[in-house]
Chains A and B, each alone.
Chain A
Amino acid sequence: MIKCESVYKSYGDINAVNNVSFEIKGGTFLGLLGPNGAGKTTLMRTMIGLLDPNKGNVFFNNMKMQKDNLKIKEKIGVVTQHINLDKELTINENMIFAAKLYKISNDKINIEIKRVLNLLGLYECKDRKTKKLSGGMKRKLMIAKAIIHNPDFIFLDEPTVGIDLNTRKEIWHFLRQENKKGKTIVLTTHYIEEAEQLCDLVMLMSEGEIFKEDTSKNLISEIGDFKVEYSDTEMYFYNTLNEAKIATENSDRIFSISKTSLEDVFFYYTNKKVN
């Protein structure tokens, strides 16, 4: 269980996270969506103890982050937005370092590293220096480091940014498998498709606040399952295909009818807020 209780985090006059409260059950795959500057990363960094909130509390299985941070951090795996690997070290050395940080005993380190690197397809090149890896491999290595200690909670901040579609799909597959094992995953992403594919709970953020939270399906149903699009900015939503057809039958403008996606929901709400 993860619980945020009236969390505030500000930088000077700017409220990066503004009174955020929610609770999610163990095993949830949560997606935090929002435009740049919405407060997703700050919220995540506050949750994992990288930032201290100005007000409010974060709980993991009833343990309070500010009080039991060392115990909680043992159960958390983190993949940050930027590549924070030690570039001078090899893949294997980065993994040993992560294993030691999370107090994995010496006799188990090699077994665990082999298991995790095999899962992510990195074992064969474990002796390569990190600075010589491709962007996708670096991302995979960051995920491997984050799960070396078999954490209950995995936090991923834009984990697939800047990598090709195939690698992204491999990572998606891997994350689904981890979620099926019962791990709670919190993901921030700009790729709406990523959240739609992976998350069973989505929270939409803007200006430091969570203004919508539900499953992708419910969020879509709420505005209408079908979309009539006249231009990039002019869209109308209908509950059924028939309603959409009736609404457009006398139109002399070019339009398209399609199923509403989470991306449309995202634009629907953020545009509405901005306007």
Chain B
Amino acid sequence: MQIKTILWREWRFFLHRFWKITTSQLVTPILYIITFGIGLGDKLEVGGQPYLFFLMPGILSMVTMRNSYYAVSMRIMLGRLNDKSFETYIYAPMKMSSLTFGYLLAGTLRGLYAGAFIFIISFFTKRAIDITFTLVFMLVLNSLLFSAIGFIASMVVDTHYDLSRFTNMVITPMSFLCGTFYQVSGLPKIFKWIIELLPLTHTTRLIRGVSFGYGVDYFSLLIVLIYIFFLTVIAIRICYREITY
């Protein structure tokens, strides 16, 4: 019931800003596809495949990740620091776990919504991605994980600048370094180890593997599930801390 309330509120917010949200989330992936995909796509090969074919799942991973992260972090940060609407939840009879799950689900749905456009765009590039249940499940995990990161980040920052710095220092580098645009296996060992620690590396690997029909990398799946579990626990604990802060 309480989770539904949060989803309802975010749904109404989404409807009011439908065009703004939809158009703004389309710009970046289209630019990447035009620049790296269509521009270079026919001239390059990665792993014996045209670059555009290799790129599409990476873009899908990056777009779902960024949109779920932004959808949650911006809403909560503005609700906490600007219009203070977030505290409505704190003085209402709302369980902190429901509050956390509500926002994580809302972020996940926003990630999937953005991902749907990449499927559509992929049709026009003649490198269509097949929609399968396993692929959608991997996108859900990716969105859930980055919703949780967005939730935690927005709950601990004290200013807009802090969130912007976190995004610039963590999210943006991750979106470029974690195998979205290239194969991690080609990196020097030390970089590879660092990149293997980052969650997007594993979600991208899962999404790409499933898209190409290579099956599920269970090690990456385990890492992602561990990440989601711990981030969710941290998010709930931070919610409780909001009361005593």
Contact = CB atoms under 8 A, between A and B. Distances in A.
A20 to B, nearest CB: 18
A102 B93 contact: yes
Give the contact-size bracket for chain A. Answer: 20 to 34
Given A93-B12, A103-B1, A73 B93 contact: yes
Contacts of A74: 93
A61 B13 CA distance: 37
A95 B145 CA distance: 32
A84 B83 contact: yes
Q: Which of A52, A85, A88, A103 has the most CB of B within 10 A?
A: A88
A102 B244 CA distance: 22
Interface stretch (B84-92, B122-130, B157-165, B167-175): B84-92
Interface string A68-82: 011101101010101
Q: Main SS of chain A's interface residues?
A: loop
Given A84-B84, A89-B16, A50 B90 contact: yes
B91 A85 contact: no
A119 interface: no
Contact of B243 (A49, A85, A89, A97): A49
Contacts, number: 71
A86 interface: yes
Contact of A101 (B17, B83, B88, B244): B88
Contact of B91 (A50, A82, A83, A86): A50
B35 interface: no
Nearest to B93: A73
B87 A97 contact: no
A103 B4 CA distance: 11
A70 B94 CA distance: 7
Interface string B73-116: 00000000001110111111111000000000000000000000
B97 to A, nearest CB: 12
B84 A80 contact: yes
Given A50-B243, A52-B243, A70-B95, A86 B90 contact: no
A25 interface: no
B83 A86 contact: yes
Contact of B93 (A71, A83, A89, A129): A71
Given A50-B91, A73-B94, A86-B83, 17 more contacts: A50-B90, A51-B243, A71-B93, A73-B93, A83-B84, A84-B85, A87-B83, A88-B17, A89-B16, A98-B88, A100-B4, A101-B88, A101-B92, A101-B93, A103-B1, A103-B93, A129-B16
Interface of A: 48-52, 69-71, 73-74, 76, 78, 80, 82-89, 93, 96-98, 100-103, 129
Closest A-B pairs by Cβ, 8 of them? A73-B93, A52-B244, A100-B5, A84-B84, A101-B92, A70-B93, A74-B93, A78-B91
10 contacts: A69-B93, A73-B92, A82-B84, A88-B17, A93-B12, A100-B5, A101-B88, A102-B92, A103-B1, A129-B16
